[in-house]
Amino acid sequence: MLKREHLPHMLGAATLALMFSAASVHPQTTTTGTSGTAATTGTSSTAADSRAPGASGGSAASGASATPSTGSQGSGASGSAAATSGASEKSASASSKAEGSLSKGDQSILRQMAITNISEIEAAKLAQSKSKDEKVKTYAQQMIDDHTKAQGELEQLAQSKNVTLPKEPDAKHKAMAKKLSALEGEKFDKQYMAQGGVTDHRNAHGMLQKAEKTAKDPEVKALVTKMIPVVDQHLQTARQDTASAKTASGKGGASSGSSGASGGAASTGAGSAGSGSGSTGK
């Protein structure tokens, strides 16, 4: 047990110790707290700075993302435009190639053949409606059949070569058809066989023979070669029919002349007989 007299001294010393201890601890705590706060603040600042760069980075990333995206869209649009342009150029190129696949000479051959076919068909249809001669009508029907078939083959070839064919006769054949339509009966038959049968087929035959030598495309040449004997047969038939008609007409005229001569002789004989009778009476 401590003596009572020593207690005040010990309490005073303890109190002083506590005061000194508190004085030394509190500033440190305050300093530490301040430092901690500063550190915390610094950390926060650092974090903020970290976030700021992060935000900047995010912005940069967004910028980077936005830039490629825009670029990709631009590139895509440009690519689409380029693809469309390329497709158009290829189409134009293909069309030009198709148009240029035949020489101008070969294209002209196809068009001349088309005019020949169309003109023969139109003239033959006119003959079918106006003629009364069965021979003429039979010939006209053959022209319709053969030239319609030939025109069909010609159109297929022209389409594959991208060549546009005429759809009606040329001015020359239109004028001939107009003159022909004004005729009737035997005059019509004679003119049709002479013009549509002989003259037109002779011209067509000559055109085809020349085309066979000058055609460069093998398919055009093959079609021309195939058509030559058909046109030649039409020409020969027309010549024969025309010659037969002339012969028949000549015989008819001769018969009429013979009949007239016989009638004249008979009249002369009768007159002579009458004169004889008169002399006898005298």
CATH number at residue 203: 1.20.1260.10
The yes-or-no verdict on residue 180 having pLDDT over 90 is yes
Q: Which range scores top for mean pLDDT: 45-59, 78-92, 153-167?
A: 153-167
Is position 125 within any domain? yes
Is position 158 within any domain? yes
CA 240 to chain centre: 44
What local confidence, expressed as pLDDT, does residue 46 receive?
39
Share of residues in the chain with pLDDT > 70 (%): 52
Selected residue with higher pLDDT from 88 and 224: 224
Selected residue with higher pLDDT from 43 and 170: 170
- Annotate 228-242 with b (16+ C-beta within 10 A) or e (fewer): eebbbebbebbeebb
Structural domain count of the chain: 1
Q: Which two tokens stand for residue 80?
A: 């689409």
The yes-or-no verdict on residue 157 having pLDDT over 70 is yes
Is position 238 within any domain? yes
Q: Which two tokens stand for residue 216?
A: 């460069």
Measured CA to CA, the distance from residue 208 to residue 212 in angstroms comes to 6
| Contact partners, residue 144, CB within 8 Å, separation at least 6 | 121, 124, 125, 128
The yes-or-no verdict on residue 156 having pLDDT over 60 is yes
Is position 108 within any domain? yes
The yes-or-no verdict on residue 219 having pLDDT over 50 is yes
Residues 226 and 196: beta-carbon distance below 8 Å: no
Is position 239 within any domain? yes
Selected residue with higher pLDDT from 245 and 205: 205
pTM for the whole thing? 0.56
Is position 256 within any domain? no
What local confidence, expressed as pLDDT, does residue 121 receive?
97
What local confidence, expressed as pLDDT, does residue 252 receive?
57
What local confidence, expressed as pLDDT, does residue 270 receive?
41
The yes-or-no verdict on residue 13 having pLDDT over 80 is no
Task: Tell me the mean pLDDT in the region 141-163.
Answer: 97
Measured CA to CA, the distance from residue 260 to residue 229 in angstroms comes to 46
Rounded to 5°, angle at Cα 279 from 275 and 282 = 140
Its sign, for the CA torsion 54, 58, 61, 67, is negative
Residues 217 and 106: beta-carbon distance below 8 Å: yes
Task: Tell me the mean pLDDT in the region 49-76.
Answer: 42
Full residue range of the structural domain in which residue 241 is found: 101-248
pLDDT in tens, 67-114: 444 444 444 445 455 555 555 555 544 444 444 589 999 999 999 999
Is position 281 within any domain? no
What local confidence, expressed as pLDDT, does residue 245 receive?
77
Measured CA to CA, the distance from residue 208 to residue 177 in angstroms comes to 23
Give the 3-state secondary structure percentages of the chain, helix then strand then coil, rounded to 5: 90, 0, 10
